[in-house]
Chain A
């Protein structure tokens, strides 16, 4: 709703004009603060929703579905591969994918290219001014529990309306990397513990 316009006659005392200028200036400042606060709220809401979605699932399929929803709804891509990282063999295997043929990604090793680098703990997000390579890889994020990388989330082409990922997306992806790792670990521990818990119930 637009604010009512205040006008004073040209003959109004100078002090009234000064007050009006001060009020208009204050109004502008508050409007700018409101915009900043709303943008911050939107960013926090996005992060909250991502974390909440990932931790709602108790089984692995549910976690994978949550990752897919987060990538589509909050990051803006329908192409990703979620890799398991096997620290004993140094290999990566696709755990789940969406919109990408995993044939070219079946025999990756830790430190192999950008995805392998993520498996070694180094995140990759394509810089703003760069074009993704032929594979369309836009981001490779380690799924990390403390210092241990248990997986990698590789995001390929973004939706057409998303030209690039910004700083907010980078923060979001790091958060997703941390919480998807915990959600996956929990789902696997729960799968092992569920029969015991059922017997006890």
Chain B
């Protein structure tokens, strides 16, 4: 069975390393982007099965990137998990309005993240 591809977009090296450490290597191929604009481009180039998008990123924030991804034919239905630093309801609402499928809050909990990834990939 082909491995699922996950795009991890965050400007923080620590967050990217954490994501790569908790997503099982034999199960997923992980590609990364360090800002929102790059995330949209990598999503077009790599056609990931799922996207994990940080909210606070340079050039284009996670909300904008999410809206951009939803406006593109190839990523219109790709599951997107937003990673928010602020867990306030308004922030989470903004994520859903932008088109995300689910969200996690920082600090990143590996078990929670992997569980949401599995759910969204139907595993």
Contacts and interface: CB of A to CB of B under 8 A. Distances in A.
**B partners with A:** yes
A159 B85 contact: yes
B92 to A, nearest CB: 10
A46 B87 contact: no
A49 B14 contact: yes
Contacts of B106: 72-73, 76, 159
B109 A72 contact: no
Interface residues of A, number: 27
Q: Which of B18, B22, B111, B122 has the most CB of A within 10 A?
A: B18
B106 to A, nearest CB: 6
B14 A45 contact: no
A49 B18 contact: yes
Contacts of B108: 46, 73-74
Contacts, number: 71
Interface residues of B, number: 22
A70 B30 CA distance: 21
Interface in B79-123: 85-88, 105-111, 114, 122-123
Q: Tell me the dominant secondary structure on chain A's binding face.
A: helix
Interface string A62-84: 00001001101111101000000
A195 interface: no
Contacts of A69: 12-15
A69 B18 CA distance: 11
A46 B18 contact: yes
A159 B17 contact: no
A105 interface: no
Contacts of B21: 45, 48-49
Contacts of B110: 38, 41-42, 45-46
A38 B115 CA distance: 10
11 contacts: A42-B22, A42-B111, A42-B114, A48-B21, A49-B21, A52-B17, A69-B15, A75-B107, A76-B106, A78-B85, A161-B86
Contacts of A39: 111
Given A160-B86, A160-B88, A66 B107 contact: no
B123 A76 contact: no
B107 A76 contact: yes
A69 B10 CA distance: 12
Contacts of B105: 159, 161
A53 B17 contact: yes
Interface in B6-43: 12-15, 17-18, 21-22
A185 B38 CA distance: 36
A45 B110 CA distance: 8
A9 interface: no
Interface string A28-66: 000000010011011001101110110010000000001
